Structure 1
Amino acid sequence: MFFKGTTSTTAGFAVLPRNIETILERVEIEANGQIIQVGSSMYNQLWQIIADTSMGEDVTNRRRILQGAGDIAAAPTANQTNVQFAIQNWLGFLGSVKPSVLDTSLIGNVRLRLTLAQPVILAKSPTCAGESYALSDIFFTVDTLSIDDGVFYQMHQQFLSSGSVYELPFHSYMAFTSTGGMSQTTKFSLSTQSLNRCWATFLTGVAGDILRFTLPHGVWDLSTLRLWFLATMNGTANNQSLPRDVETLIETLEVWVGTERVQTIPYYNQLFRILADYDHNIQDMQARTVISNSAWITNGLNNAIYTVNQSPFCMTQWYGFLGSGAVIDTRAMSGPLTIVLTLAPNAALISNTAAATYALSDIHLTIQNSDEAPASSFEFENFKLYMEQNGSYSQQTQMSVECKKLEWVAATFLPPDYRSRAISTTTDHHGNRNRNNYTLPGASGVS
């Protein structure tokens, strides 16, 4: 991957981080409409840890020019403009799949989806403010092989027609996070045939943090799930507001049962906004105005009422697995049910200054017990999202979906902070009415 990087600030200076791979927050691989690598939400942190513990000085020296591997020992004194970089080392499927030479005619179209990290990754001077970065002239290269030998393809045909399947092993990485503290205990559950290594590290707390909640054993009613918190914003007084619908503060939503990722919804905030605008009536909006901030912002940002300091909010509505309304028994699941929320960048704020930031505190999740018999199997909506880097009125977004029923497709244009995306809902082979199906171990059917 080749590109040019540029940084900008409203005060002070900023440069791209050590090890340019840190700009990647998530790397996802999709083949023929099926996700074969669900990107870790902390790809850049994992990359730094692995690089620091496995790369020798000779490797680091070779990476100083195009990969930015040199330590940033002094505060930057200038921003960067069109500095050339290259990413050639990858984690997961791209960097470890065996064999490394693949015949893509056997697996269909392969799509690589990269999610860029927030500007918090930049190295900054002490007086830096309003930092951001942009990539340009992005292109990818890969070596291709041409095999004009009928024997090669005949071998493939005989192998597949016999009912055999190809296995492509690759390294997979799991990230677990929790709130900070020097006496912290981080619990996690992992099922694997080969656990190669385990790392632990401390990270700074900034917008874009990952919130992690594990439901205790019991019978729970998902329709009562609520996320409570206090919100504070910083910046020039009276010039920013939390977005309409506080649910748009969630950038990515993940649901895990043990080590199985049941659902991942990237860009959950944009999906929520689209669905909420279609699903909510006036009564719903009025009921959500106070605690969920569903009121339209129509009076500009010059009124003190829009300055937020430790104001209480509550997320009351969910989509996907958490919005199924099912009664679940976590004691019967194959592992603990964990909800992982990645907060949106500061660009989610309504603001007239790039210096506006937000922070959440006193965060807690509530859910009610239920006396109803829990379902052994239940359905939930699943969503598939596609995006293009540069939006325009002549934009074409190509997407590949494999499902029994495609219920709807919605297309929208977003500000440059988020790029343009197309969103669709799908069902897998076990679903019904545009829904996925989750079955407890040892159970069958849909209830």
Structure 2
Amino acid sequence: MAGIWGRRKREQEELAAHDADLARRAEQALVQTDERIRSTSDELDFAEAELGASLTADLRLALAAVRTHMREAFQLHQLNHDEIPDTPEELRTRNARIAQLCDWAQDLLDEKTSVLAESVAKVRRAPEVIAQVRADAAALSARIPQTGDAVARLSARYAPSAMSQIAASAAEAEQLIAFATHGADVSERRRAAKQNEEANLALETATEATRRASALLDAVEDFEIEALRAESTLAEVVADSRGDLIAARTAPQTPAVAAAVTALQEALEALSPAGSPGDPFAELSQLRAANTALDEAIATARYRAENPLPSIPQVQHAIDDADRQLGVARGLIAGHRGWIGADARTRLAEAERLRVDLADLLPAEETREEALAAARRVAHLASEALQLAQRDIDSSRPQDDGWGGGGGWGGGRRGGGGNDIASGILGGLVIGSLLDGMFD
């Protein structure tokens, strides 16, 4: 007993120490969070003056939500120190809630102030960013003549369809550079007029304009490299396609193979002559598609030669056989519904479900093999349903109880199947009439 009481005392002391620590942490969290709200409110005022109302709206809403929830925390703390006595459980619950609310408030303010700090840093770096925008615009402007010369040189080598993606790059980049320079000027003027929100927007658009202008000029340089790579790949695909045309002569001559051969020959003939402007990107795509189509047609023809397609009469015969077995199974189960278990019913239901789709699978060559396999599956399931149903019927029939045996009153041999049932019914009628006569 002393050990039990000692253990309980230790547990009570540990719980009391835990409650005291929780109360201290709740009070500290309450003070720290209240101070955080006050300091964040001051930060918000400075940020609004520097950034404007729209960029600080998230922090303002978060601060309002925190103040609302902290009123609950202060109310709980007041309940802990009023004149009404509280149980340890009540104090523990309130202090835990206070700590939870304070943690939530601190986390929310951390998240929103970190985002705001990035915006403030960006605004304070505005003079530096404006200078960078102007420097980038000057550097990009110096690339415009070189880009124009590159476009003119490439236009003599490639067709207009290939050049469409970069033909206007120099002009578009020049417009974006002018827009970026103008945006930097607007941002500077708005900042001087204390219109910080508009200044930030103008600076962001100017920065984006220089990024897009740089991408346009880079695309011209990348185009030349990609075009040369496409030409090299096109030469390889041409050689491969000619080899495929030779190989197609020994493949099974099906209509699909003949059509694919014709399409590939037309794609080869449509290639731009050597020395004339062409579109290596489009020609490569068209030739590769025709080459792939021929490969697939040959593979299909060879597979079909090794695996002949079943004829429609063959598939229809399998469907008819499945229907016959379905009919037998369906009739047996319908005639003995009270005796049939779940296994037989499940096989029959699955067979009927598969049978519904057979008519749609039969005509098309692509699905004829699937139709044959499905028909055989239906027949197999129907056969299983029939066997399971017969098993259920046999197990549900009345067993021989001696009345109809060779030594019983009937004196004859009991038959099987329905005769057993009929004999049982007739025997019951005879016995019933005898008993009725005895008690008349």
Look at both structures and tell me which one has the larger radius of gyration over its CA atoms: 2
> Structure 1 or 2: larger strand share?
1
Higher relative contact order (CA 8 A, sep 6+): 1
Fold match, TM over 0.5? Answer: no
> Structure 1 or 2: larger helix share?
2
Q: Which TM-score applies when normalising by structure 1?
A: 0.15
Q: Which TM-score applies when normalising by structure 2?
A: 0.15
